[in-house]
Amino acid sequence: MPDVDEIKEAKKFYSDIPQKTEGFFLKGSNSLDWGIKNRLARIFNPESGRTVMLAIDHGYFQGPTTGLERIDINILPLVPYADTLMLTRGILRSIVPPTTTKSIVLRVSGGTSILKELSNEDIAVDIEESIRLNVCAMAVQVFIGGEHERESIKNMTTMVDMGMRYGIPTLAVTAVGKDMNRDARYFRLAARICAELGAHYIKTYYIEKGFETVTSSCPIPVVMAGGKKIPELDALTMAYNAVQQGASGVDMGRNIFQSESPIAMIQAVRAVVHDNETPEKAFDFYNTIKNQL
Ligand code: R5P
């Protein structure tokens, strides 16, 4: 308690200066509550409005993926260059030091492996775990057009409802079945359904034709998934095109951790995402860092 005898009379009211009311920097997110905005502002850089998420959650359905065999050795050195880590609670607890100040996006859906029908997922993590682990968002796979479309949408809306209770955003990850067309029409459909049903941001793949219609018809931020490993310059070009066509960043895995030089690649991706660097210049940057190591 302050000493009541010594209270000084308040006098600096600046009555001539109106209090600022700032809008929130992220698309479609202004009406969210303070806690959700604060968590989103730890995922998306408020200056660039974008994020470099490092996705290392692949083991949740495909086991020790190439590049992720030893997360302690191969991935921890990349953490300083990521804005956010997207991973499972198992890897978070067993390998990531709790001293990290990076934001965490926790994979909360799961339940099937590559040996079975992948769309048959359930919610695999309690909301209490997300609170306990101090995560900034929860990621749920949504299989629009998939065998278990309805259940996967329900998983997402359940997490949205629970997350809203505690101020934790939900990332809807649009998953494409093997037999489905990866085109603008599909991703517009998938992204819009997830946004309409309450997701706070969406992850989709990049497509050459019409990606800008996916971002413009989605009222909330879209981040680009990396997909299978392609040459570094091609991956940088894809990330560049995605952000120039309205993506609010990337959530890349294999194109970073399966690169010949993951530590150079993640820095080159940052240059494209946060500094609007061209793919060619970012590729030069990649080679310079790679050759210095
Ligand atoms: C997808 O379901 C996984 O959870 C990954 O997070 C996602 O595929 C992104 O990783 P990549 O860039 O390797 O596709």
Q: What is the pLDDT of residue 1?
A: 63
Residue with CA at minimum distance from ligand 1 atom 1 = 58
User: What is the model's pLDDT at position 181?
Assistant: 80
Pocket test for ligand 1, best of 228, 236, 254, 259 (most atoms within 8 A of CB): 254
| Whole-number pLDDT of residue 2 | 62
* Nearest-angstrom CA–CA distance, 215 and 274: 18
C-beta separation of 113 from 146 below 8 A? no
**Model pLDDT, residue 46:** 97
Q: For residue 186, which of 152, 210, 221 has the smallest C-alpha distance?
A: 210
The helix or strand, by DSSP H or E, that contains position 250, with its residue range, turns out to be strand 249-252
Q: What CA–CA distance (Å, rounded) separates 218 from 196?
A: 9
Helix (H) or strand (E) holding 121: none
Report CA(35)–ligand 1 centroid distance (Å): 27
Which position among 20, 116, 203, 229 bears the catalytic label?
203
Q: How far is residue 31 from each of residues 132, 168, 216, measured CA to CA in Å?
A: 26, 14, 19
DSSP state, 268?
H
Q: Which atom of ligand 1 is the closest one to the Cα of 227? A: 14
Residue 102's contacts (CB-CB under 8 Å, 6 or more residues apart) are 79, 82, 83, 84, 85
Contact by Cβ (8 Å): 113, 124: no
How remote is the CA of residue 227 from the centroid of ligand 1, in Å? 6
Mutate to test the pocket of ligand 1, among 54, 60, 173 (most ligand atoms within 8 A of CB): 173
* Burial class for 255, CB neighbours closer than 10 Å (0-12, 13-18, 19+): buried
pTM: 0.94
Alpha carbon 66 to chain centroid, angstroms: 21
CA 228 / ligand 1 centre spacing (Å)? 9
Strand-pair category, 201-205 with 222-225: parallel
What residues of the chain score a pLDDT lower than 70? 1-4, 178-179
Residues enclosing ligand 1, CB less than 6 A? 55, 57-58, 86, 141, 173, 225-227, 251-255
User: Which residue's alpha carbon is at the smallest distance from atom 6 of ligand 1?
Assistant: 55
Tokens 């500094």 identify what position? Answer: 275
| CA 259 vs CA 68, 242, 252, 256, 287: distances in Å | 12, 20, 11, 5, 12
pLDDT at 7: 79
Residue 62 CA to ligand 1 centre (angstroms): 11
Q: Which pLDDT score, from 0 to 100, does residue 10 have? A: 87
Residue 203 catalytic?
Answer: yes
| Long-range Cβ contacts of 184-192 (<8 Å, 24+ apart) | 184/209, 184/210, 184/211, 184/213, 184/214, 185/210, 186/144, 186/145, 187/211, 187/214, 188/213, 188/214, 188/217, 188/218, 189/144, 190/142, 190/144, 190/145, 191/217, 191/218, 191/222, 192/217, 192/218
Q: From the alpha carbon of 175, which atom of ligand 1 is closest?
A: 2
Tell me, in angstroms, the distance from the centre of ligand 1 to residue 252's CA. Answer: 7
